[in-house]
Structure 1
């Protein structure tokens, strides 16, 4: 189980090989913590020997359509929950979040295109060029209604 501490409450999701995406409006939550239930340290910065990461993204004063999309906080976890790099560009039609070998390629027409480059299996590392498409408008409707669990379920279905 992977735990997400969002808006003062925990959301536990079953651990899976794919990617888990949770979208939260940044107006209500500035920080989100993500770590594996097996991790010992809590609140540490992303490092080599830790599975904990704290994500903090600042807002702009003027909000445009692109900023409204960029206002959403996307937390992506791989199986170990270790985040290597996170980058969000406000004001541009691009959200790039790197989690080890997983990367969101681009944001086009409110659809996230994710390229899962490398998948670890029992035999080792295997290359994949699978593209995952997630509709942000449907997730936005859930977020506006303060139904984060509903948004999580809809994104889980989109990832299947």
Structure 2
């Protein structure tokens, strides 16, 4: 039993250290407010959400995937939109995708999502890996109370 004591102490210390991450070591992202207005088109839809980074380092949203079709991220500048390959998610900040601003575009839909369904979306981050979100399909005229 005495021989195991030093090994137990070392293993316990290693586990404690592994669980203790510096706030500055990696991004800590979460997603809220996700929704898709029911598409009016058979081939295209939009998606909105907020990514929050509680970590001390910035992260990047590098791509978005979904089983319902191809997904690209767009920013709106003035009255025009353009595809963006990566979006920064600032340390201790947010990346907001909202109507009239940054948004997700679902194209070449394999099926037309209906109100009440959920669409699975995978957000791929440079530091935080993949975050899977179940995006509820709302009415085509849905406007969230938070303004997203």
Return the index of the structure with the highest Cα Rg.
2
Judge same fold: TM > 0.5, yes or no.
no
TM-score by length of 1: 0.27
TM-score by length of 2: 0.28
